[in-house]
Structure 1
Amino acid sequence: MSQPRHNTMLSLSRTTSNTPSPAEKHHQHHPSQQIQSAPLSSPSPGLRVPSNRKTIYDRHLNRSRNSELSRASFAFLFGEMVTYAQRRVTGIQDLEKRLNEQGYPLGLRLLDLLFYRTISSSTSSALSSSSSTSASPPNRPLRILPLLHLIHGPLWRLLFGRAADALEHSVSPETPNEYMITDNDPMVNTYISVPREMSMLNCAAFVAGIIEGVCDGCGFETKVTAHNQPTELWPGRTIFLLRFGDSVMEREKVLERAGVK
């Protein structure tokens, strides 16, 4: 007698599971209410992209050629860079070395940007001119003097909006591989307060790293350092000392005999 009762209960449970409940019928007839009850999805965290789906990497390199950067922004960013480089240093030379290392990769990239903009401007001027003969696009310098003129003029204008103040060659016969670029008022030192115990510190070592990166990018083995040379008129005067390697000086002599300028 117990076995038929068990079968009846199983059949009832199956029938009940297949029959929709009143709540399910209500949701089936009103799908809009089911959509409204769903929670709104929160925006996914990450990099914010503009509505036109374009970033700074889509901008043309010549678009910001004549634009100027806010000095307040530059002062804040460079101050943070100096603070970051100051961590766990053993002395002034170690701090200047870290600033030099920060500027070195920037010099490599600025060299490519400088030549790209120069070639673009020369190409556009050639297309706009009616004459068939046009000047050839500039090449990377092969000798020391054209390289120094590139740094003294175009590179300095690209960075600071003006040319450097002086370009000199060592008069000592013992150091013919030394050249000096002078900046009477380096902008990188304008907003840096140096304590008295670190009076020998020159944060323009960052610019020295940029110069060294440009020289190495052109194939000139160079060591660049920044030195304080204050005067009464220019208390922040800085001299960038460039020491070229022996291989560079040997190549310079060979190119000079070959008549390469």
Structure 2
Amino acid sequence: MSDPSAYAFPTSGSSRLSTASSIYTDNRHTPQTRNKSLLERNLNRTKGAEVGLSSFAFLFSEMIQYAQKRVNGIQDLERKLNEFGYRVGLRMLELLVWRDRNPKREVRVLSILYFIHTALWKGLFGKQADSLEKSTENEDEFMISDNEPVLTKYISVPRELSQLNCNAFLAGVVEAILDSAQFSARVTAHTVPIDGFPLRTTILIKFEKDVLARDELLK
């Protein structure tokens, strides 16, 4: 994707089908047998279903445009994307737990991080994250890295927005998961390129002191 602010997509009118006509001209299309709406579908039946990357990229670009019109500056835009991601994370945790045949509450820091590194990433992107590391400098910091993040695969940030990291959305998702599981933390996204992976993104997780103190008691 190029500059997010440059996107403009045409809209088209939607065609409507008369409900009455459908019912009386074809007995198969009765109110009892019509297709269920998205909200009525069984959540387990959609497990493993995939969304086209182009469709996702279109939706994400629209989100960026929406946020750009309501913020002032890069930090404000990242904060807005983080808020969007937080809302998704709250629902994503509920969905993942619902689909797990043997759900359990994680009570250890490493356990919840492993859950995010594997289950969350697979639920969102169809693969687990590339690495889970603990900071060698700060005891309260952990890092989850993705060498080829899907969110920014088609995003080209213009020079004047070079400090923008749209994976702030993903950081919001992770922060919501942690907050919901009672692991308060500050989560931010950082671009950390390495050879062969120029878009490599690291999600930096900095836990609150009480979380680490509780984890120490559980050892």
TM-score grouping bracket, smaller chain normalisation: 0.7 to 0.9
The total of aligned residue pairs comes to 192
Shift of 1:253: 1.2
Distance 1:242 1:217 in 2: 15
* Deviation of the 1:53 alpha carbon: 6.4
The equivalent of 2:39 in structure 1 is 57
Cα distance change on mapping 1:165 and 1:53 into 2, 3 Å: closer
Identical aligned residues as a percent: 48
State the alpha-carbon separation in 2 of the partners of residues 224 and 111 from structure 1. Answer: 16
Q: Could you tell me which of 111, 130, 142 is aligned with 1:165?
A: 130
CA shift digits 1:5-40 (9 cap, x unpaired): xxxxxxxxxxxxxxxxxxxxxxxxxxxxxxxxxxxx
Please give the TM-score of this superposition, normalised by the length of structure 2: 0.83
Distance 1:93 1:53 in 2: 44
Secondary structure of residue in 2 paired with 1:163: coil
Provide structure 1 residue ranges, at least 5 long, that are not aligned to the other structure.
1-42, 45-49, 120-136, 257-261
Quick one: higher RCO (CA 8 Å, sep 6+), 1 or 2? 2
CA drift at 1:249: 1.1
* CA deviation vs aligned residue, 1:221-253 (integer Å, no higher than 9, x gap): 011000011123101011100011111111111
What is the aligned partner in structure 2 of residue 245 from structure 1? 208
Which of residues 68, 84, 92 is equivalent to 1:102?
A: 84
How has the CA–CA distance of structure 1 residues 193 and 241 changed in structure 2, closer, same or farther, with 3 Å as cutoff? same
Aligned mates of 1:197, 1:54 — CA distance in 2: 46
- For the 8 Å contact 1:200–1:228, the answer to whether it is kept is no
**Cα distance in 1 between the residues matched to 2:86 and 2:170:** 8
Runs of 4+ in structure 1 off by over 4 angstroms are none
CA shift, 1:138, in A, is 3.0
Say yes or no: does 1:68 pair with 2:68. no
Residue aligning to 2:151: 188
How far apart in 2 are the matches of 1:61 and 1:90? 38
Structure 2 residue 61 is the aligned partner of structure 1 residue 79:
yes
Are 1:178 and 2:178 counterparts? no
Aligned twin of 2:119:
154
Q: Secondary structure at the match of 1:187?
A: coil
User: Contact (CA 8 Å) 1:186, 1:236: kept in 2 or not?
Assistant: yes
Change (3 A) 1:171 1:54: same
* Structure 1 residue 191, shift from structure 2 partner: 1.7
Which of 186, 193, 199 is matched with 1:236 structurally? 199
Equivalent position of 1:117 in the other structure: 99
The yes-or-no answer on 1:215 pairing with 2:197 is no
Aligned to 1:199: 162
For the aligned residues, what is the CA RMSD?
1.9
One-letter identity of the residue aligned with 1:150 = F
**Equivalent-residue separation in structure 1 for 2:178 and 2:130 (angstroms):** 19
Q: Decide which structure has greater helix share.
A: 1
- The aligned runs of 1:12-27 (5 Å cut-off) are none
The Cα offsets for residues 125-172 of structure 1, whole Å up to 9 and x where unpaired, read as xxxxxxxxxxxx231100100001000001100000000000000111
Query: Which sections of structure 2, spanning at least 5 residues, go unmatched?
Result: 1-17, 20-29
- Residue type at the aligned position of 1:205: A
Structure 2 counterpart SS, 1:234: coil
| In 2: Cα distance, 1:73 partner to 1:53 partner | 22
